[in-house]
Amino acid sequence: MTPLYVDLFVEFLRLFLLTVILFSVTWYVGKNINNWSIIDFVWSYSFALCAGVYLITLWSELTPPVIVLLSCTALWSIRLGTHLAQRTLSEIEREDVRYQKMRDDWGEDASFFMFRFYVFQALAFTFLCLPFIASIVEARSLPSETQIKMGFIHWAGLGLVIFALLFETIADRQLKTFKANPANQGKVCDQGLWAWTRHPNYFGEWLVWMGFALLSYNTTFYGIPGLICAGTMLYLLTKVTGIPMTEERLIASRGQSYRDYQNRVSAFWPRPPKAKKVNG
């Protein structure tokens, strides 16, 4: 194993242990307020915390692409964390249905298993930080006169991150406007970006991680950690915790109207919607 890979492994372990401490405190708070949902926004904000610490402590050792990558990470993290914090804290007395189901499944052992779940979240967080810590490890190994400048692939990554964040912001605003109209109560939003994909927010999230992968490109790791993380996010969003769980909840609350929406609109990849069927 080369010294850079050893440094990457050591940095991974260090970040994982620090994250376990942070999430253990979060678990303790969640236990005392009887709401485990707070891990969602703490997990999201942790990327900004991590990026901020690296930027402050290692600024002089970082290359321009790494500085841009960490800055974009902080911006994305603050946006997502604030969105989740507002949703969670506005209904702090009511725990998210995902965690309620965990409580029901685990019964009297819920506290222990939830702690184990939080530790797993710490591991997942650290794994998704691989593009950042790999870029930092590589940058710190370079003499100042040979440090990498912003190249085409990095500018493309920055452009993709900006586009993705705008895409998500527009989708969120369209959904908020739709829900604010009393006439739309109980209906499914199928306007704007929501007419092209049932989950523009998830699609935007994946685009962000593709942008991170491009920004993390260097001559040591070649952006491979970033591509692995982007692929992992795609799998999680489309097959595990994203679309499947969200749509199960929406079908339960919207019924046939959401099933009709599923038949007309793509689940993830944006494309023109099918025409609505007219009865009779």
Instruction: Answer yes or no: is pLDDT of 73 > 60.
Output: yes
Instruction: Answer yes or no: is pLDDT of 101 > 90.
Output: no
Greater model confidence, 218 or 159: 159
Q: What is the pTM for the complete model shown?
A: 0.90
Q: Please, what's the largest Cα pairwise distance for the chain?
A: 74
The three-state secondary structure class of 208 is: helix
Instruction: Answer yes or no: is pLDDT of 20 > 90.
Output: yes
Instruction: Answer yes or no: is pLDDT of 275 > 80.
Output: no
pLDDT in tens, 148-164: 789 999 999 999 999 99
Q: At 214, is the pLDDT very low, low, confident or very high (cuts 50, 70, 90)?
A: very high
DSSP string, 226-242: HHHHHHHHHHIIIIISS
Counting Cβ atoms within 10 Å, is residue 228 exposed (0-12), middle (13-18) or buried (19+)? middle
As a whole number, mean pLDDT of residues 241-259 equals 88
Token readout for 92 is 């702090």
The three-state secondary structure class of 279 is: coil
As a whole number, mean pLDDT of residues 107-130 equals 94
> What does the pLDDT read at residue 81?
95
Amino acid, res. 143: P
> What does the pLDDT read at residue 186?
84
Averaged confidence pLDDT in the chain = 91
> What does the pLDDT read at residue 193?
96
Instruction: Could you list the beta-strand ranges (E) of 49-184.
Output: none
Rounded Cα gap, residues 153 and 124, in angstroms: 26
Token readout for 236 is 């999680």
Number of H helices, E strands in the chain: 11, 0
As a whole number, mean pLDDT of residues 121-135 equals 95
> What does the pLDDT read at residue 172?
92
Nearest to 188 by CA among 123, 136, 231, 246: 246
> What does the pLDDT read at residue 278?
54
Cβ pair 247, 253 in contact under 8 A: no
> What does the pLDDT read at residue 80?
93
Q: At 220, is the pLDDT very low, low, confident or very high (cuts 50, 70, 90)?
A: confident
